Copies of this chain bind each other. A is one copy, B any other.
Amino acid sequence: MTDTTSPALQTALAYYQAWTSHDLDAAMSYIAEDIICDAPAGRLEGAEAYRDFMGRFVQILTGSTMIAAFGDDQTALIMYDTETVPVKSAPGAECLTVKHGKITYNRFVFDQAPFTTTRETPS
């Protein structure tokens, strides 16, 4: 299910491996300074905003499993499941544009609803 002859996918998988190992510095080494990320909560612009966003997610991440990963020269498309402290199964999908080994654009899809419910329900 993974075609590692795709340069974009190689970068995407290295990036995925890094953040799912809680290595935010390594993950950010694959992120372009001027990255744009269209995420459910809105658009993020620039590596600093992206690192802040990823950092908060990595803090609650307890596990992950790749579901499928494909790519070509400039585009990688991946879907994975994550396990987090508040939500046991929180799958996500990322469509990444990669240029010269750096991710310049991320269209990011996941369901915000269970995270919202968790925040609104006192434990």
Contacts and interface: CB of A to CB of B under 8 A. Distances in A.
B91 A68 contact: no
Size category of the A interface is: 20 to 34
Contact of A107 (B67, B78, B116): B67
A11 B100 CA distance: 33
A95 B68 contact: yes
Interface stretch (A45-53, A55-63, A69-77): A69-77
Contacts of A79: 77, 93, 95, 107, 109
Among A69, A91, A92, A93: residue with most chain B CB under 10 A: A93
A96 to B, nearest CB: 9
For the residues of A in contact with B, the DSSP-based class is strand
A113 B113 CA distance: 5
Contacts of A93: 77, 79, 93, 109
A40 B116 CA distance: 13
Contact of A95 (B67, B71, B111): B67
A112 B95 CA distance: 19
Contact of A40 (B75, B78, B113): B113
